[in-house]
Amino acid sequence: MSHPGIERFETPQISRALFGGKGFFLTKLAEMNYPVPPFRILPGERLRQTGGTLDEIAQLVRELRREAAATMAADRATVAFAVRSSAPVSMPGMMDTLLCVGLTPENVPALTERLGGQETAWRAVVSGARALCVHVAGVPEADLPTGPPERVHSELIDSYEQRTGARFPVEPAAQVKAAVDAVAASWNNRRAREYRAAHGISEADRPSVVVQAMAYGTAATASGSGVVFSHDPLTGMRGLHGEYLPAATGESLVGGTATPANIAVLADTAPAAYGELAATVDELFCWLTLIVEVEFVVESGKLWLLQVRPAVAAERVHNTVTVDAWRAGLLDRPAALRRLRPTALFDRASPHAAAGHAPLLASGIAASTGVASGRLVRDTAAVLAAAGAPTVLLRPSTEPEDFAGMLHATAVVTQEGGSGSHAAVVARELGKPAVVGARFIDPEWPARAGGELVTVCGTTGRIWHGLVPAVDGHAPPWPSDLIGEPLRTTVVDSPDDLPSAEVDGAGAGLVVTADPDLARRAPAGSPIAFVCGAGPADRPWLAELPDIPLRYVVVNSPAQRRFVCTLLAIRETLSPRSETQR
């Protein structure tokens, strides 16, 4: 989905095309002095040409550790790195991310002091080694060792070396170099290719890679990770909406491997960070004038921003946010009108499943609105094997490899995760009803189930056993104060309302037609009255106006009048006021 207006912040030196979305927005946040951990961007074109040499990475690591020591009051020995992709078009969860890269057991004493515990320090070191094993060495997740972290770290090194035939990288620069290469290479993994094909993303694009100093959401005191929105991503209602996972990294949150608490928890545990976050999100909305999504970490009560981007939401939600921005004085009327999706103004609020028709199975977080029914399946292979028959994909938490299953299923349910998880974001992109963090009334039911017909209501976050009818949502309020009446065209309800005889200054008579081609071929100077036909049965108000100045438009219903007035209002913002009417 394109997000109008962002291009006004881009320059030839700083753009999404050069830095990718993540790198671009991090750069803008840093320019505006928001709390962002130090980072560097390795542009995609440069990586394609040179790959980023080890000497360059070593210099980058030294610079970032020095900057983190200054801005984050951190011992340089505790500075680890997050290595993430930054594609020109967001591809949530489809490319690799490596966290806690650059640590070794030698860093444990300093990390213990920073994080407040030796076990937490060791977990950070193990996390980096695990990321290198999975994304660089290709060790399957199921084969990773478990147990005490010191022993696990040793076993991870053995697994890496057995799998690659090379020594495990000990030096921080070597670890970061391996991570950068892995992230860049993940552009070509199967799930990323499937995602680009489904969304029409160019294969010619190449992602940049962001290397950023870690803020630790796992520190002992008042720490955690979260995702928040400037508006409810399901309705467009303004206000801080989101989730927080105490004592956790963002990987658990966006990966959907844990179910978070409401963002209000942060207000209780770190009120200063909460207040700063709420003010920051509001400011970022005022800057972008789009619904904003922010990923953040709180370390020992201090807020750090990891990412900001325009949020994925339905077109009717974007319309609601646009009207909100105009009424708040953040957009002028022409800019607001040009952002409207006219057909989405008629979209009703999402349907919800009717209560009392089937046994309730589970409740969870409403992640993507709508109602859908289908046979319950547990993996992508079963979705594809259904050959188009309606299926509901149930997963403990979605993996990026589940994208094909999500694409072909009618609905998605996960037993862990929140509204900022990849499962929720991808479901909203695809327009699939989704419930995440589902809690089943009978916790053993999912293990026994297979092939049952279920109904998923992504609007209310509920799941029923059996087929449940949907209840249509309400019609949205019409933004008549924004759209108004066209200035240069008169809209009438019947051909009988047209003047019986009208000529222009040269004596050219009024041309009345329902044929767009005839309207375009009318004699120069003739005033045009265009008669709209009825749209399709599901959208009878739909009309297509010829791309010429019109003196009159004849509509056939009040709804079509509203739609036509919207089209004309938008058209008037795109053409000079001095345009001569026909």
Least Cα distance to 131 among 191, 214, 75 occurs for 214
Q: Are residues 73 and 189 in the same domain?
A: yes
Count of alpha carbons within 13 Å of 394, Cβ hemisphere only?
A: 26
* DSSP bridge pairs for 228: 242, 294
CA neighbor of 371 nearest in space, from 234, 472, 439: 472
* 67 in the same domain as 183: yes
Cα separation, 115 vs 117, whole angstroms: 6
Let me know whether 330 and 364 are in one domain: no
Same-domain pairing of 197 and 103: yes
Pairing of strands 360-368, 371-377: unpaired
- The answer to the question of residue 28 being in a domain is no
Which of 327, 347, 367 terminates a domain? The answer is 347
The answer to whether position 259 is within a domain reads yes
What percentage of the chain exceeds 90 in pLDDT?
75
Domain of 525 in residue numbering reads as 484-573
136 in the same domain as 160? yes
Residue pLDDT, tens place only, 206-264: 899 999 999 999 998 899 999 999 999 999 999 999 999 999 988 777 777 788 999 99
Structural tokens at position 121:
């320090």
- Whether residue 4 is contained in a domain is answered as no
Tokens standing for 294? 């922010």
Q: Do residues 125 and 225 share a domain?
A: no
What CATH number is attached to the domain comprising 412? 3.50.30.10
- 336 and 281 assigned to the same domain: yes
Residue 2 within any structural domain of the chain = no
Domain stops at, among 214, 243, 267 = 214
Domain termination site, one of 448, 471, 494: 471
What is the total count of domains within the chain?
Answer: 4
In a domain, 27, yes or no: no
List pLDDT tens digits, range 368-385: 999 999 999 999 999 999
- Residue closest to 339 by CA, chosen among 290, 285, 284: 290
Residue 5 lies in a domain: no
User: Do 130 and 78 belong together in one domain?
Assistant: yes
Q: What is the CATH number of the domain that holds 229?
A: 3.30.470.20
Are residue 78 and residue 196 in the same domain, yes or no? yes
pTM: 0.88
pLDDT at 508: 60
Are residue 497 and residue 467 in the same domain, yes or no? Answer: no
List of the chain residues with pLDDT < 70: 1-4, 501-508, 575-582
Bridge partners (DSSP) of residue 310 are: 292
265 occurs within a structural domain: yes
Q: Does 298 fall in a domain?
A: yes
String of DSSP letters for 35-73: ----EEEE-HHHHHHH---HHHHHHHHHHHHHHHHHHS-
Answer yes or no: do 314 and 286 share one domain: yes
The per-residue pLDDT for range 73-88, each reduced to its tens digit, is 999 999 999 999 999 8
C-alpha closest to that of 408 among 387, 429, 428, 422: 387
176 and 47 both lie in a single domain: yes
* pLDDT at residue number 506: 44
231's CB contacts (< 8 A; 6+ apart) are 237, 238, 239, 241, 285, 291, 311, 317, 320, 321, 324
Q: DSSP letters of 93-110? A: TTS--EEEET--GGGHHH
